[in-house]
Structure 1
Amino acid sequence: MVAQSVTAEDITPGVPATGNAVPQHPPSLTALVGLLADDMVQVNETIMARMTSDVPLIPQLAGHLIASGGKRMRPLMTLAGARIVSANATVSSVEAIKLATAVEFIHSATLLHDDVIDESNMRRGQNTANALWGNDASVLVGDFLFARAFELMVESGNIDVLGTLSSASARITEAEIKQMTIAGNPDTRLEDYLDVIEGKTAILFAAAAASGAKIAGGNEQVTQAMHMYGLNLGLAFQIMDDALDYTADSAQMGKNAGDDFLDQKITLPVILAYQKANDEERGFWHRTMGDGNFAAEDFAKAQSIMAHHKAIEASLEAATSYANKAKAALTIFDAPNQAELAHALREAAAFAAFRRT
């Protein structure tokens, strides 16, 4: 199944997205987590079982990351895809549990590698694995988790699912490499940014949701619907994450505020602010994000420039637009026994574009 690529036309800065008003009751993952709680118990048990190794450092380091929290949204996508197809089931199949575990391992492996590349020392409010055990150990344990993920995929016994998740893993790596090539270039095209976040984040959401539907026997229409739901939710999630780096504080995010700025990462708020910048402001972006020449007050100045050009507001509108597209992908799930889960998935999409952490 080929992903539908996003383009710059999907983002119209300054035009309010439908449904962008602050809801009376902020959306959350509570409903989705509650419906899939029994499945997630099995996923967590499988995670613990498959992290075991005769080399003590492997479960120690991997367990540090996996046990540190996180929303587990990606395995939830797999479980939801399986459950919405077999809507009468109360617990997903063994194969779906294994796939959800594989998805979490793929995600965890990429986080370990990312923290090494970014030289990060904080994630989810704790010291990163590379800060505690070093880069070599983090990379190798990440490789171990990738290997475990592929074992679980093979055990699922579905070659199409194996192809979907394998392709997603390759796309993630390609996107991370492309992100490195555009780092420090504030004049990066919007299309290149969107290609990066589709590959590094959204494609795993999409593959997770589609694989769950496929392993449960879903047809092409159902599988494609879950793919598009996951893709757009993932785009909303990553755009919000990029915006939060310039708006939330370290305690809220569980990482250092402004890390993307200091790492010279080109994200949507930067691109939008640069597009509207005057010559002096463009000089600022080239000195900081381009040359890596930072002064003490530069992060505050970056926030000020973004505020002046409403770059954060436009980013939030873009995230909401993608969340609405995710909701729209669920319209085929209109059977009475699918309604509760479909509603929870819509709220999860709204959460992705509304979250503050």
Structure 2
Amino acid sequence: MSVAYSFATAATPTEASLEGIVGLVRADMDRVNALILSRTGSEVTMIPEVAQHLISSGGKRLRPMLTLATGALSGYEGDGTVKLAASVEFMHTATLLHDDVVDDSEMRRGKLAARMLWGNEASVLVGDFLLGQAFRMMIEVGNMRALDILSTAAVVIAEGEVAQLAAAKNIGTDEEAYLAVIRGKTAELFAAACEVGPVLAGRTKEEQAACRAYGMNLGIAFQLVDDALDYGGSQADLGKNVGDDFREGKITLPIVLAVRQGDETERDFWRRCLERGEIGEGDLEQAMGLLVRHGAIAQTVERARAYGAAAKQALDVFPASPAREALLDVVDFCVARVR
């Protein structure tokens, strides 16, 4: 018995909600994109081939736009946010290259993952090259506090990825442990990307902390929506195959909630599929049916909305401005991917 369940996507409102930040940072993003292109150059021809395969594959560049927008919010007028924005994008791209190897992923942003074309070794090493270039640009900016924030983020992201490995295939993972994982592997880079803008502008500790809180809560909301979409979105929404989290044995929040509310028979099902990897025909549909029965996807979306509200509230310390309005719209964009 198959269970049909899907989200209606709000394509037009979602696209519209990014218009504010895109317009706000358009000129600087042109400079960021040019810098990204120049810094992927290498005499080793495989490096630009692998890097550009992912970088040019249609990502929204949300994280570097956040660095530029929080810089604008803080009144920063120098060139430093351009290099830090490029650094943030390189860090993000490196983690995607590494993640696809760890997860044996076949698709990324609707295209074959780099590992499927060049192999795991090349994907890992090009990811390392991009991290190296990111740190070179941070050094060129010359702000030790910004360097500390982004280098600490690199450590925390790696810790989050390892923590996810430890939690993988363990249906005993609870909500608190799962949220700790996504704070590290996803939200930390959002937080760091947002914090460095006011740092470069020399704004108060309160304002720096506000931008960091905005980014952290936004990042958690973003990941929770991704978790929900994996069981009810489309390949176009995700840029990867629907149900990949299930097939890879990933314990995400919908699973945590469904396991907690299910009976022993259902837990046996989750153990077979996720812990032992014994997935047969119809199991994904059964899993989706259990998630719907317990309201696990809807609860995940509600938690995402709550974190989104917290992100918006964090910006209350700043007066109204086009930059602040654009950042508030980004929250709506992230959450409106499902409705």
TM-score range (shorter-chain normalised) is: over 0.9
Q: What is the deviation of 1:218?
A: 1.7
Q: Does 1:178 align with 2:163?
A: yes
Match for residue 295 of structure 1 among 280, 291, 301 = 280
Q: What is the deviation of 1:251?
A: 3.2
Q: Does 1:194 align with 2:195?
A: no
Match for residue 22 of structure 2 among 11, 33, 39 = 33
Q: Which residues in structure 2 correspond to 1:1-357 (within 5 Å)?
A: 25=13, 28-86=17-75, 92-334=77-319, 338-356=320-338
SS of the aligned residue for 1:282 comes to: helix
Rounded Cα–Cα distance in structure 2 between residues aligned with 1:251 and 1:231: 26
Rounded Cα–Cα distance in structure 1 between residues aligned with 2:171 and 2:140: 44
Higher percent of residues as helix: 2
Q: For the Cα contact (< 8 Å) 1:36–1:79, is it kept in 2?
A: yes
Q: For the Cα contact (< 8 Å) 2:191–2:216, is it kept in 1?
A: yes
Q: CA RMSD in A?
A: 1.5
Rounded Cα–Cα distance in structure 1 between residues aligned with 2:307 and 2:22: 21
Rounded Cα–Cα distance in structure 1 between residues aligned with 2:175 and 2:284: 22
Rounded Cα–Cα distance in structure 1 between residues aligned with 2:170 and 2:275: 6
Amino acid at match of 2:25: L
TM-score, structure 1 as length reference? 0.89
SS of the aligned residue for 1:330 comes to: helix
Q: What is the deviation of 1:25?
A: 4.9
Q: For the Cα contact (< 8 Å) 2:73–2:321, is it kept in 1?
A: no
State how many pairs are aligned.
328
Q: For the Cα contact (< 8 Å) 1:273–1:309, is it kept in 2?
A: yes
Unaligned runs of 5+ in 2: 1-9
Rounded Cα–Cα distance in structure 1 between residues aligned with 2:123 and 2:46: 10
Q: What is the deviation of 1:320?
A: 0.2
Q: What is the deviation of 1:221?
A: 1.2
Rounded Cα–Cα distance in structure 1 between residues aligned with 2:274 and 2:317: 44
Q: What is the deviation of 1:216?
A: 2.0
Amino acid at match of 1:351: F
Q: What is the deviation of 1:206?
A: 0.4
Q: What is the deviation of 1:254?
A: 1.7
Q: What is the deviation of 1:187?
A: 1.7
- In the alignment, what sits opposite 2:3? none
SS of the aligned residue for 1:71 comes to: coil
Once the two structures are superposed, residues 87-141 of structure 1 have per-residue CA deviations (whole angstroms, 9 ceiling, x without a partner) of xx7xx52111000000000000000000001111111110111000000000000
Rounded Cα–Cα distance in structure 2 between residues aligned with 1:76 and 1:138: 25
Rounded Cα–Cα distance in structure 1 between residues aligned with 2:307 and 2:335: 8
Q: For the Cα contact (< 8 Å) 1:161–1:211, is it kept in 2?
A: yes
Unaligned runs of 5+ in 1: 1-21
Rounded Cα–Cα distance in structure 2 between residues aligned with 1:183 and 1:57: 32
| Superposed structure 1 runs of 4+ greater than 4 Å apart | 24-27
SS of the aligned residue for 1:292 comes to: coil
Amino acid at match of 2:321: A
Q: Sequence identity, in percent?
A: 46
Rounded Cα–Cα distance in structure 2 between residues aligned with 1:274 and 1:28: 35
Rounded Cα–Cα distance in structure 1 between residues aligned with 2:166 and 2:238: 26
Q: What is the deviation of 1:344?
A: 1.2
Amino acid at match of 1:290: E
Once the two structures are superposed, residues 3-51 of structure 1 have per-residue CA deviations (whole angstroms, 9 ceiling, x without a partner) of xxxxxxxxxxxxxxxxxxx9x9556212111111111101001101111
Rounded Cα–Cα distance in structure 2 between residues aligned with 1:203 and 1:348: 17
Q: For the Cα contact (< 8 Å) 1:78–1:96, is it kept in 2?
A: yes
Q: For the Cα contact (< 8 Å) 1:82–1:216, is it kept in 2?
A: yes
Amino acid at match of 1:159: M
Amino acid at match of 2:56: A
